[in-house]
Amino acid sequence: MGAGKRGRMTVWLACADGFIAADVIRWREGIWDRRGPKGGRSMKIGDRDVIAEVIDGPDEDGFVTLLVRDCVVLTDNLRTGQLKAGERMRRKAATIQRGEPARMRWSDEAARASIRGSRFLADAVLGAVAPGGES
């Protein structure tokens, strides 16, 4: 999960300033078993590391649209919980923030900083997510 193209290691940076659309982020999330027939509590059965590209968001409800790039199930002998590469998914920004997110370093961080700090592009257009999960 750490090696990039041509065998180089991918550099991951903590999402201290949040993430924006076009960022590739990774985080850890739990895998939950479905509730029983009488609506019992879900039970956590494992964990997975997810790498996804931020497509859009957050919307007015705090959801971010993501495109899965890679998923690694960290629990042995667990067949469920694998996300397929290329699959679109939605997650609350606050849920991602709980999973200690990191973003892939851009080849031109100055370009990202200029987009992030632009006074002409509103956060809603950029899909900026602050560290607390709020835009």
pLDDT at site 24: 94
pLDDT at site 128: 52
pLDDT at site 135: 46
Is the separation of the CB atoms in 122 and 20 below 8 Å?
no
Q: DSSP string spanning 59-90?
A: -TTSEEEEEEEEEEE-STT--S-PPPTT-EEE
Structure tokens at 47: 């964990």
pLDDT at site 48: 94
Distance CA 71, CA 85 (A): 7
Structure tokens at 76: 């042995």
Length of the chain: 135
In 3-state terms, the chain is what percent helix, strand and coil (to 5)?
15, 35, 45
pLDDT tens digit at each of 135 positions of the chain = 555 555 568 889 898 778 888 889 999 999 988 777 777 788 888 999 999 999 997 888 989 999 999 999 998 877 778 899 999 999 999 999 999 999 998 887 777 776 666 555 555 444 555 555 554
